[in-house]
Structure 1
Amino acid sequence: MKTTIPRETLAFFKKLSNNNNRDWFNAHKPEFKAIEAKVKSAYNHLGELMNAHDKIEKIKIFRIYRDVRFSKNKLPYKTHFGGSFARHKPELRGGYYLHIQPNNESFIATGFWNPNKEDLFRIRKEFEMDDSEIRAILNNKTFKSTWGGFVGDELKTAPRDFDKQHPAIDLIKRKQFIFTKKYSDKEVLSEDFLNKVNTSYKIIRPYFDYMSDVLTTNLNGESLL
């Protein structure tokens, strides 16, 4: 029997969107917990598939409860499942994310969400010295057709101490180095969804290998580990 995202997942979140309050959720909590257990099983199965081509250190399924303390949106519950897959640190960098949400809002994401100051500077210096290797990865036909191009935040101009006329300034001014891929509800509920996600994650590997090498060496290529 194949492990899949249970069909009732999307239906439950649609109902929760129309009843996002504690009374309704508490009345339907047994239904949610049953769905959550199946979804956790699906995430764990995906992690097993990924371990055939990567080293996944930790799988984390995020809680449904929203932190509303500093948000104008006071709705108490998320209307999606989100989970991350952490690679074995410190030698393997980057991470994976799987987001399950109805109305064709599901997606997967990979990359580097918010590199710390040191890592961000190291990445930018690498692009400044030689952007040929990263561009070859980004322009690979299979890679590009699967993931497209970078998404995420970037500066409006060159970072401090970088030349705004540099040929790689489009890469250097980035603050995040993320790729995303969207899925329809029909795709999410299909029997081969987790296998397709795993294949997409596998295709990101040359990028992760490159970035891991950059972030574990200094500008002379000497190991920092």
Structure 2
Amino acid sequence: MSASALKSAFSFLKKLEKNNNRDWFNDNKAEFKAVEKEIKAIYNSVSEQLNKHDRIEKSKVFRIYRDVRFSKNKLPYKTHFGGSFNRTKPRLRGGYYLHIQPHNESFIAVGFWEPNKEDLLRIRKEFEMDDSEIREILENKTFKSIWGGFVGDEVKTAPRGFNKDHQAFAFAKENRL
């Protein structure tokens, strides 16, 4: 990953934060296109690296233009770059997400985003059968020091059809799985 490309991206995004309007963006479109090209190269490099250990079917850098139709926030541009890396389907599902944003707001996300009901049931069944592997990962001090805690929706109780007292679901609630 090129440090100079990230520095250029952060610089552009900081300026965009202060000038998030069409006139400024159009006046600075050439700079955006140059930064976007570098960002796409970074995402392609990440995809290549992921393919050394996984099977990535496709990667995608999301557009900088916001869909403001149903949003209270009417600013026309995102102030970050985001992209996804989808695993080869149907055998492998889930994926990765890379978010690049100034002010220490960058992050990596992995797993399932809004899994379909079949995948969600399979995940829950796996935890019900044996949750020791995920427990070991989540409780690992080195893992926690690098990745921090998990965030996302949490289960309030065991899902329908599962024992509410099962240790895997109590653990999931405690750890926000």
TM-score w.r.t. the length of structure 2 is 0.87
| Equivalent residue, structure 1, for 2:40 | 40
Change (3 A) 1:105 1:29: same
List gaps (5 residues or longer) in structure 1. Answer: 178-225
| Equivalent residue, structure 2, for 1:3 | 2
Larger mean CA deviation between 11-20 and 60-69 belongs to 11-20
Deviation at 1:140, TM superposition (A): 4.4
List gaps (5 residues or longer) in structure 2. Answer: none
For residues 56 and 99 of structure 2, the distance between their equivalents in structure 1, rounded to whole angstroms, comes to 18
Moved over 6 A (4+): none
For residues 144 and 97 of structure 1, the distance between their equivalents in structure 2, rounded to whole angstroms, comes to 19
Task: Kindly report which structure 2 residues correspond to 1:125-144, keeping only aligned pairs within 5 A, or say none.
Answer: 125-140=125-140, 142-144=142-144
Task: Kindly report which structure 2 residues correspond to 1:19-98, keeping only aligned pairs within 5 A, or say none.
Answer: 19-98=19-98
For residues 94 and 20 of structure 1, the distance between their equivalents in structure 2, rounded to whole angstroms, comes to 33
Greater relative contact order, per chain length (Cα 8 Å cut-off, separation 6+)? 1
CA deviations over 1:146-186 (Å, ceiling 9, x no partner)? 33443211232222232222211135669x85xxxxxxxxx
CA deviations over 1:49-79 (Å, ceiling 9, x no partner)? 2222222211100000001111111111000
Aligned residues: 175
Change (3 A) 1:34 1:167: same
Change (3 A) 1:168 1:51: same
| Equivalent residue, structure 1, for 2:168 | 168
TM-score w.r.t. the length of structure 1 is 0.70
Q: Look up the SS of the partner of 1:168 in the other structure.
A: helix
Change (3 A) 1:122 1:52: closer
| Counterpart check, 1:15 vs 2:15 | yes
For residues 34 and 150 of structure 1, the distance between their equivalents in structure 2, rounded to whole angstroms, comes to 35
